[in-house]
Amino acid sequence: MNERLSEVRRETDVGAEIPRVSARIVLTAATALAVVALLGGAPGGARVGSAAAAFAVGLVAAFGIAQIGRISRDRTREQIETWNSLVKKLVAQTATGPDDSIEKSEHQ
């Protein structure tokens, strides 16, 4: 049981890193595209507009990824709380014997 709980914890920790890393990648790519747009052969005003647009898209994407990360973190927290609750119930049940209320809810 402890092995499974630590495995779940590891999986949730890895899942929490994905949005953070993704946001960094998006911002880096947006910055690189903005620099490329500034160094491009288009006239001055068009270069600045293209660079600003590239960077703005990156900011919007990073914000979206951050929101997804927050949702993921909240759901992960809920799952961990559910696991902890189940483990506490299981430990209490094994320590005291089967609970009649659990059996009644299973038959309904």
pLDDT confidence of residue 84: 82
Q: What is the DSSP letter of 43?
A: -
Task: Please give the model's pTM, rounded to 2 decimal places.
Answer: 0.62
Give the closest residue to 22 by CA, choosing from 80, 55, 63.
63
Contacts of 48 (CB under 8 A, 6+ apart): 38
What gap in Å lies between CA 88 and CA 107, rounded to an integer?
Answer: 22
- Number of domains composing the chain: 1
pLDDT confidence of residue 60: 92
Average pLDDT, the chain: 80
Q: Which domain, by its residues, includes 71?
A: 2-107
pLDDT digits (tens, 9 = 90+) for 22-63: 888 998 999 898 888 888 766 767 888 888 888 999 899 999
pLDDT confidence of residue 80: 81
pLDDT digits (tens, 9 = 90+) for 56-92: 998 999 999 989 888 888 888 888 888 888 888 888 8
Q: What is the DSSP letter of 91?
A: H
